[in-house]
Amino acid sequence: MAAPAEETGGWRDLSAYFRSAGFRFAALFAVLFLAAMAGFALMLWWGTAGTLSRQIDDAIRADALGLQEQWRSGSTKAVLDAIGERLAVDIDDHAIYLLTDSAGQPLGGNLDRWPAAADMPGAWAADKVRRDGVAVPARLYHVPLDQGHRLLVGRDATDREKLRTLLSEALLWSFAVAVAFALAGAAALRRALADRLRAASLTAGAIAAGDLSRRVPLSTQRDEFDQLGESMNAMLDRIDHLMVGIKGVSDSIAHDLRTPIARARMRLENALLTAPDEESLRAAMETTVADLDGITRVFQALLRIAEAEAGARRAAFAPFDLAAVLTDAAEVYGALAEERGQHLETHWPEKLTMVGDRDMVLQAIANLLDNAVKFTPEGGTIRLTGSAPARGRREISVRDEGPGLAAEDRARAGERFFRADPSRALPGSGLGLSLVKAVAALHGGELRLGDGQPGAARPGLEARLMLSSRA
């Protein structure tokens, strides 16, 4: 019972072999090679046997025309004399002539009777004629004359047939050799392809098995396979980076949420054990609820970032006026800045239309303004601007007069839960710029951070949110 199963496996292998890209490339190579050979054979045939055939036909046609002229200008005797003279000097002994009368009786020439194959007037015919009792091929042309006379002009085509036979045999052998070369070349090509792809295939297999550290080995040839390998390696590096990022986020979530949850638990426990009265207990519970609200906000921010990064909200993209969004944000944060003794300066055109997610863009601007208000000292100025720097581009800039960010901190500013040292004392979750960065990416743009006043003692921070207005 094992035999059929093996056969099935064998057929499956054979089928997979025929469906493989290597086999198909090799087959294409073989077909192209054989097509080139066929083209070469055709040209060779056309240039030799074809040329000889055309030369024979041209000679017959010229001969026939000459005799036709003789017929028109002279008499039967003139044609017969011309035929006789031509036959008399036909050293190669290839010429064939026959002139018959209206009854079909031969009047002159070197053929004993009219061949049946050349009955059609004005047509060419290929027939056999006997020479010394042996049938030889002949090319014949039937020239109809007036008064029922007929003229046959032809040539012995033995040499042409011999050349054709020789050429056919040579081409047949060449074709057999070409087929052998094509098959051998195809097999070599298939093997070379399989060898070059093996490294990538083994790497992909190892990665599928869980070894993410493997990379495609590159050769020194810098060919298409190396380019594929480089792309695969870049993709794997990116996946690796994302995996590290995800792990970092998981660790950060665990770390950053453990503290407030533990604090809330401790506060409740202390209140239960030590609260002197109902009012103290209520106050402790209210504080705990506020802490838990903070945790909920962190989760909401994380979900919004994930949503933006996944592009899930792209379906909700619609045209909106960015100027109106900036006005809304300025109203809320202008009041907040005033409360803190700060001044909010604004500037944008009357209309700044774009396509995108209005709520997400508003959230991003709010996060930037929130940071600016948080870090700008009392009496400082916050500048909010909006513009269209180029066709299809929108830019929102928020500049504060805070302590600014060191270059190394700017590079990490978009990471989840990252907080620069000066800001650790202030409230916040370290998710604000992560969301801004995700919103920028969602709208085909980016977030750029720089000094608000380069060279100043307190350089401040300028956050530039670049967006595509067409999304």
Partner 1 sequence: MPWVFALLLFAATPAAWAQQAAPRLISDSPEYCAELASRFAAIGAEAPSHLRTLADEGQRLCAEGQTRGGIAKLRRALKEAQRGE
Which range binds partner 1 by CB under 8 A, 21-29, 104-112, 271-279, 286-294? 104-112
Residue 77 in contact with partner 1, rule: CB under 8 A: no
Chain-centroid distance, C-alpha 42:
37
Instruction: Considering the complex, state which of residue 142 and residue 437 has its C-beta at the smaller distance from partner 1.
Output: 142
Binding-site member from 135, 192, 266, 316 for partner 1 (CB under 8 A): 135
Which range binds partner 1 by CB under 8 A, 86-94, 331-339, 403-411, 452-460? 86-94
Pick from 345, 338, 333, 346: nearest CA to 379: 338
Instruction: Considering the complex, state which of residue 155 and residue 358 has its C-beta at the smaller distance from partner 1.
Output: 155
Instruction: Considering the complex, state which of residue 113 and residue 191 has its C-beta at the smaller distance from partner 1.
Output: 113
Please give the Cα distance from 460 to 375 (Å, whole number). Answer: 9
Binding-site member from 6, 132, 224, 421 for partner 1 (CB under 8 A): 132
Instruction: Considering the complex, state which of residue 98 and residue 298 has its C-beta at the smaller distance from partner 1.
Output: 98
**Least distance between partner 1 and beta carbon 75 (Å):** 20
Binding-site member from 6, 93, 146, 278 for partner 1 (CB under 8 A): 93
- Among positions 369-408, residues that touch partner 1 (CB under 8 A) are none
Please give the Cα distance from 243 to 253 (Å, whole number). Answer: 15
Residue 126 in contact with partner 1, rule: CB under 8 A: no
CA dihedral 242, 244, 246, 250 (to 10 degrees): -170
Instruction: Considering the complex, state which of residue 96 and residue 178 has its C-beta at the smaller distance from partner 1.
Output: 96
Binding-site member from 1, 91, 315, 318 for partner 1 (CB under 8 A): 91
Residues 6+ apart with CB under 8 A from 402: 372, 374, 375, 376, 377, 380, 458, 460, 461
- Positive or negative: CA dihedral 287, 293, 297, 303: positive
**Least distance between partner 1 and beta carbon 155 (Å):** 12
Which range binds partner 1 by CB under 8 A, 19-27, 36-44, 112-120, 337-345? 112-120
Residues 6+ apart with CB under 8 A from 308: 360, 435, 438, 439, 441, 442
**Least distance between partner 1 and beta carbon 49 (Å):** 23
Q: Which residue's entry shows tokens 């209140």?
A: 271
Instruction: Considering the complex, state which of residue 78 and residue 271 has its C-beta at the smaller distance from partner 1.
Output: 78
Largest CA-CA distance found in the chain, in angstroms, rounded: 153
Task: Give the number of residues in contact with partner 1, rule: CB under 8 A.
Answer: 22
Q: Which residues of 220-254 are buried (b: 16+ CB within 10 A; e: fewer)?
A: eeeeebbeebeebbeebeeeeeeeeeeeebeebee
**Least distance between partner 1 and beta carbon 68 (Å):** 22
**Least distance between partner 1 and beta carbon 1 (Å):** 53
Q: Which residue's entry shows tokens 């011999």?
A: 162
Query: Which 3 state secondary structure label does DSSP give 223?
Result: coil
Residue 103 in contact with partner 1, rule: CB under 8 A: no
Instruction: Considering the complex, state which of residue 96 and residue 405 has its C-beta at the smaller distance from partner 1.
Output: 96
Instruction: Considering the complex, state which of residue 130 and residue 241 has its C-beta at the smaller distance from partner 1.
Output: 130
Binding-site member from 54, 77, 128, 247 for partner 1 (CB under 8 A): 128
Instruction: Considering the complex, state which of residue 110 and residue 385 has its C-beta at the smaller distance from partner 1.
Output: 110
Please give the Cα distance from 33 to 42 (Å, whole number). Answer: 14
268: exposed, middle or buried (Cβ count in 10 Å: 0-12, 13-18, 19+): middle
Residue 105 in contact with partner 1, rule: CB under 8 A: no
From residue 37 to residue 76, what is the string marking binding to partner 1 with x (rule CB under 8 A)?
----------------------------------------
Please give the Cα distance from 363 to 419 (Å, whole number). Answer: 19
Read off the amino acid at residue 178: A
Instruction: Considering the complex, state which of residue 26 and residue 152 has its C-beta at the smaller distance from partner 1.
Output: 152
Half-sphere exposure of 21 (CA within 13 A, CB side): 7
Q: Residues in the site for partner 1, rule: CB under 8 A?
A: 84, 87-91, 93, 96, 98, 110-115, 127-132, 135
